Amino acid sequence: GIQVEQSPPDLILQEGANSTLRCNFSDSVNNLQWFHQNPWGQLINLFYIPSGTKQNGRLSATTVATERYSLLYISSSQTTDSGVYFCAVDPFPYTDKLIFGTGTRLQVFP
């Protein structure tokens, strides 16, 4: 089956710093999503982005489907950005099930 790998596994930042999280996938996908899991365990969808670039406030994401990777940018990080970031892919052909990556744990200190 498709493999989804994320890097780095852990990231420690001071408030105000910028960061880039990477997601590599081993096969073609219909779609790709980024999730944030807060320290209380709740999973929230940030973006669905099969290709191109999207921005939402301090967060933006870029997917290059032909090269099988996606990047999540966090600018001017805040302590509330702490948690685990997952990418998840909907493998091609269309399967109705999301396969998650291993996650990047982000800690932002004041």
Partner 1 sequence: NAGVTQTPKFRVLKTGQSMTLLCAQDMNHEYMYWYRQDPGMGLRLIHYSVGEGTTAKGEVPDGYNVSRLKKQNFLLGLESAAPSQTSVYFCASSYGVTLESGANVLTFGAGSRLTVL
Residues that bind partner 1 (CB under 8 A): 1, 4, 6, 9, 30-31, 33, 41-43, 45, 48, 50, 86, 88, 90, 94, 96-103
The residue with tokens 């493999």 is: 3
C-alpha to C-alpha distances, 34 to 7, 41, 84, 100, 110, nearest whole angstrom: 13, 15, 11, 9, 25
Closest contact distance (angstroms) between CB of 32 and partner 1 is 9
Residue placing its CB nearer to partner 1 in the complex, 18 or 51: 51
Closest distance of CB 48 from partner 1, Å = 4
Looking at the Cβ atoms of 74 and 89, the one nearer to partner 1 is: 89
* Min dist. Cβ of residue 89 to partner 1 (A): 11
| Letter string b/e over residues 61-81, b meaning 16 or more CB atoms within 10 A of that residue's CB | bbbebeebbbbbebeebeeeb
Q: Of the two residues 74 and 103, which places its CB atom closer to partner 1 in the complex? A: 103
Minimum CB separation from partner 1 for residue 15, in Å?
A: 26
Q: Which residue's CB is nearer to partner 1, number 17 or number 98?
A: 98
